[in-house]
Amino acid sequence: MASQVLIKVDDRTQVGEARRAAARITEALAFNATQAGKAALAVTEAATNIVKHAGTGKILLLPLARAGVAGLEILALDRGPGIANVGASLRDGYSTAGSMGTGLGALARAAESFDLYSQPGRGTALRLEVWAAAACAPPDVFEWGSVCLPKSGEVVPGDAWAMEGSGDYRTILVADGLGHGPDAARSARAATEAFAGNPSASPAMLMQISHAALAGTRGAAGGAARVILAEGRGTFAGVGNIACRVETAGERRQLVSHSGTLGHVMRRVQEFEFAFPPGALLILHSDGLATHWAIADYPGLMAKHAGLIAAVLYRDHDRGRDDVTVVVLKQRPSP
C-alpha cells in the first residue's frame, strides 16, 4: 500500500503546502493536466474551508489504484462548528464565511466521488476521489477505506495493513510492529509480505504464517479478518493488541485477540466467527486508536463511504502518541 500523507492545516500558508503535496503525488502518478488541476483545486478548496470555518484541521492524501488506473483520495478533517445546512452548502453561491461562493459545490463537481459527514458542534469530514482516467472495471461489491499514519515525528508508520481476496470475499490483515520507526515498520511489513505470499490463508493460518515470518524481527501484534458476503459471516483471529469490531444496525461485536507477539510468543490462536449481514461494518484498528468509541455517537455515519468512517474515527479517537491504523470494510451500497 502506498503511504498516506498528513498535512496539518492551521493557517493559510499550509493551504499551499497541502496543494503542493497533492501535486507531487499526482505528478508521480502521471495524472494529466486536467485531472491534476482538479486534484489541486479540491485540496486547495478543502484546506481553505478548514482555515476559514474551523481554524485548524488535517488534510490526508492517499494514492489509490483501481483496474490499473491511479487515483488520489483526499480527506479533509476538522473539529470545527460543523455545517448546519449541508444541502444548502452544496449549492453554488452559498457561503457562511464570505468566500467566493464556489465552495463545496465546486468540490463535489471536481471529484469522481464525494462524501461529507458533518455534525453541528463536532466538526466536518470530507472525502473525495480524483482519478487519472475513467476506470472501465465493474464496481467492486466491497467498499473499503483506511487511515495508516506514523507517530508524530516519525517518517514511516510502524503499522501496516493489507487486503487480499476477490469476488464476494475479502481478508484484511493489520500488523503493529513493536515500537516505532523503521524497525517497527519492517516487522509489520514482514506480516503483510507473508500475507501476500499466502493470499487465501484463513485468519488463523495467517497468524501462524506471520508468527514464523516475524522470527528475528522486533515482533508485532497482528489481527486478520475474513468476510464472505454470500454466507453473511466472517472470521477473525488476532495475537496481541489489534482490535476488531463488527458493527451492525443496533449491535456491536468486539472480537477477541489472544495475548502474545507475532515472531516471539504465541501461545494460542483461535478463530472466532461473526455475522456479517448487509450494511455491517468490519473495523480493524491498531492501539494507536482508543477503544472507547461508539458508532452510535455518529448518527448516519455507517451509511457513509468506508474511507470517511475510518477518517472520522481517526480524527476523534487517535491517541496521538503512537502509529495509528484504522481499516473499514463494508458491502458497497447499491446505487
The interface region with Mn ion, picked from 88-96, 136-144, 231-239, 315-323 by CB under 5 A, is 315-323
Instruction: Return the residue of 322, 325, 329, 330 that touches Mn ion, per CB under 5 A.
Output: 322
Exposure of 250 in the CB half-sphere (CA atoms within 13 A): 1
Question: Under a CB-based contact definition with an 8 Å cutoff, are residues 125 and 79 in contact?
Answer: no
Give the nearest distance from C-beta 151 to Mn ion in angstroms.
8
Select 49 or 286, whichever has its Cβ closest to Mn ion.
286
- CA–CA dist 113, 64 (Å, integer): 13
Give the nearest distance from C-beta 66 to Mn ion in angstroms.
30
Give the nearest distance from C-beta 261 to Mn ion in angstroms.
12
Select 74 or 191, whichever has its Cβ closest to Mn ion.
191
Instruction: Return the residue of 45, 73, 115, 176 that touches Mn ion, per CB under 5 A.
Output: 176
Exposure of 266 in the CB half-sphere (CA atoms within 13 A): 29
Select 50 or 148, whichever has its Cβ closest to Mn ion.
148
Select 4 or 119, whichever has its Cβ closest to Mn ion.
4
The interface region with Mn ion, picked from 110-118, 174-182, 183-191, 269-277 by CB under 5 A, is 174-182
Select 235 or 286, whichever has its Cβ closest to Mn ion.
286
Select 41 or 178, whichever has its Cβ closest to Mn ion.
178
Give the nearest distance from C-beta 15 to Mn ion in angstroms.
31
Nearest to 172 by CA among 112, 239, 237: 237
Select 45 or 322, whichever has its Cβ closest to Mn ion.
322
- CA–CA dist 235, 225 (Å, integer): 6
Residues with Cβ < 8 Å from 68, sequence gap 6 or more? none
Give the nearest distance from C-beta 243 to Mn ion in angstroms.
11
| Number of helices and strands in the chain (H, E) | 7, 15
The interface region with Mn ion, picked from 10-18, 37-45, 169-177, 192-200 by CB under 5 A, is 169-177
Give the nearest distance from C-beta 183 to Mn ion in angstroms.
13
Give the nearest distance from C-beta 318 to Mn ion in angstroms.
12
Q: Does 45 bind Mn ion (CB under 5 A)?
A: no
Select 6 or 40, whichever has its Cβ closest to Mn ion.
6
User: 33 vs 41, 187, 203, CA distance in Å?
Assistant: 12, 39, 43
User: 261 vs 112, 188, 197, 257, CA distance in Å?
Assistant: 41, 11, 21, 11
Pairing relationship of beta strands 159-164 and 169-177 according to DSSP bridges: antiparallel
Interface with Mn ion in residues 251-310 (CB under 5 A): 286-287
Nearest to 312 by CA among 331, 293, 284, 286: 293
Nearest to 195 by CA among 218, 221, 172: 172
Binding site for Mn ion (CB under 5 A): 176, 286-287, 322
